[in-house]
Amino acid sequence: MSDFDLDLQTAEGELDEPEGGGRVVLGVLDGTTDPIEWVEHVENDDILVLNVEGDLNELAAPFARDIRDIGGELMHFRDFLVVSPPGRDIDTDRLE
C-alpha cells in the first residue's frame, strides 16, 4: 500500500457550497394560510408540497401568479400542489 498525503481539512475548505439551501415544506392549502407566506417560502428557496383541501384554482389564485412571476413552478399532482422555487424544475418524466 502506498503512502500519500491527503489534507482533508484543506480539501473540505475548497469545496463549493451546494446550491439551494431551501427546505421541503409540507402544508395544507385550505385558505387559512396567508398567501404571502407561501410566496415567502418560495423566495427563500423552499419547495412546497401542499395537500389541497377545496377548489385548487380558488385556493391557489391569490399566490400562483406571484410564484410564476419570480420564476417558480406549480404542479398539481393527485391531491397535492407542488411548488418549486426558481431554478428548480419539477420533473414529471416518470409520470408518462
- Of the pLDDT bands very low, low, confident and very high (cuts 50, 70, 90), residue 10 is low
* Extended strands (E) in the chain: 24-29, 47-52, 73-77, 80-84
Q: What is the CATH number of the domain that holds 58?
A: 3.30.110.150
Looking at the domain assignment, is residue 2 inside a domain? Answer: no
Looking at the domain assignment, is residue 25 inside a domain? Answer: yes
Percentage of the residues of the chain whose pLDDT score is greater than 90: 76
The answer on pLDDT for 23 being more than 70 is yes
Looking at the domain assignment, is residue 79 inside a domain? Answer: yes
Looking at the domain assignment, is residue 33 inside a domain? Answer: yes
Domain count along the chain: 1
Long-range pairs for 68-77: beta carbons < 8 A, 24 or more residues apart: 70/39, 70/42, 70/43, 72/42, 76/52
Cα–Cα distance, 22 to 1 (Å, whole number): 43
